[in-house]
Structure 1
Amino acid sequence: MASISSRRLQKELKEIKTEGCPVGITLLEAENFDKWLFSIEVMGESQYQGEAYTLMFRFPPMYPIESPAVQFVVDQTHQSPVHPHVYSNGHICASILGTDWSPVLSVVSVCVTLQSMLASCKKKERPPDNDQYVSRAPDNPKKTRFHYDDDTV
């Protein structure tokens, strides 16, 4: 891994371990700088009250210049939230993970943003193209060119 990436991840991990995470966010695994797992739970009243989800971060060699691949873990024991921007395979359509990524964003700030995205959801539903997307989706969500609602034509 590139030294800038490992230095940045070491700094972020140290901050998480000394300062902790915001309420509802828990570091589950960060054994290496390839993949980290977090649990996120929306606090307060929301469509997702009492539900927790596992987020997986995979870091490219050029992190933080390049965004991490972030998705909800989906397996026998984990589900992705039913949300208009979250596919049933765990892929997330959020501009901060794509065109609006900035190196000033951190792993924790991404978790907080996704936590907020869930908290503000008014109706639990999948994206309209969920079945079509999931049937042809790559393993890595970064290989998808999502169309964001705020994209200009």
Structure 2
Amino acid sequence: MTTVAAPSRKQALSKIACNRLQKELVEWQVNPPVGFKHNLTDNLQRWVIEVAGAAGTLYANETYQLQVDFPEHYPMEAPQVIFLHPAPLHPHIYSNGHICLDILYDSWSPAMTVSSVCISILSMLSSSSIKQRPADNDRYVKNCKNGRSPKETRWWFHDDKV
């Protein structure tokens, strides 16, 4: 069963964010990234995207769901992206679905799109040589009780092997 986390913000999207997301949605429908399927809803502020593990990787024949919540000032501010339960076993993905990936935080650029984020996440999954949780998974997840957003975490990006 899939659970959906509360949105990170209650504010409505700005006009700029709405225009940008509508443009990205049209582009997605015309040219979707390989291995992804957007489950269309009437909620422009939250997208649920199916991710198919790439052939020839540890995640081949597996499917996961990403939840993408867009902040009021997207694309100037990064979306919140998490895996819905069950999250894949990966050294940079916590059991609560939080993803340790620099482009979602410190390295975000307004030039990035939902498609480019999805491709980066699939690349991260595909390059993994082991299926395991981060070493600090239990401690981190315990500290994230009560709906804490991954954007409230001070991530330390030090592992470029996975």
Q: Per-residue deviation at 1:30?
A: 4.0
Q: Per-residue deviation at 1:141?
A: 1.3
Q: Per-residue deviation at 1:61?
A: 0.6
Please list every run of 5 or more consecutive structure 2 residues that lacks an aligned counterpart in the other structure. Answer: 1-12
**Structure-1 separation of matches of 2:89 and 2:131:** 5
Q: Aligned partner of 2:131: which letter?
A: K
Q: How does 1:1-16 map to 2 (within 5 A)?
A: 1-16=13-28
SS in 2 for 1:99: coil
Moved more, 59-68 or 42-51: 42-51
| Residue 46 of structure 2 is aligned to residue 35 of structure 1 | yes
How many residue pairs align between the two structures?
146
Q: How does 1:1-153 map to 2 (within 5 A)?
A: 1-19=13-31, 21-74=32-85, 79-137=86-144, 138-149=147-158
TM-score normalised by structure 1 residue count? 0.91
TM-score normalised by structure 2 residue count? 0.86
Please list every run of 5 or more consecutive structure 1 residues that lacks an aligned counterpart in the other structure. Answer: none
Give the 4+ runs in structure 1 shifted more than 4 A.
none
**Structure-1 separation of matches of 2:22 and 2:102:** 25
Q: Per-residue deviation at 1:65?
A: 0.5
SS in 1 for 2:39: strand
SS in 2 for 1:33: coil
Task: Map Cα deviations across residues 28-55 of structure 1 (whole Å, 9 max, x no partner).
Answer: 1342222001001122211111101100
SS in 2 for 1:64: coil
Contact 1:71–1:92, Cα closer than 8 Å, also in 2: yes
CA RMSD, 1 decimal:
1.4
- Taking a change above 3 Å as real, the CA distance of residues 27 and 70 of structure 1, as seen in their structure-2 partners, is same
Percent identity between the two aligned chains: 43
Q: Per-residue deviation at 1:59?
A: 0.5
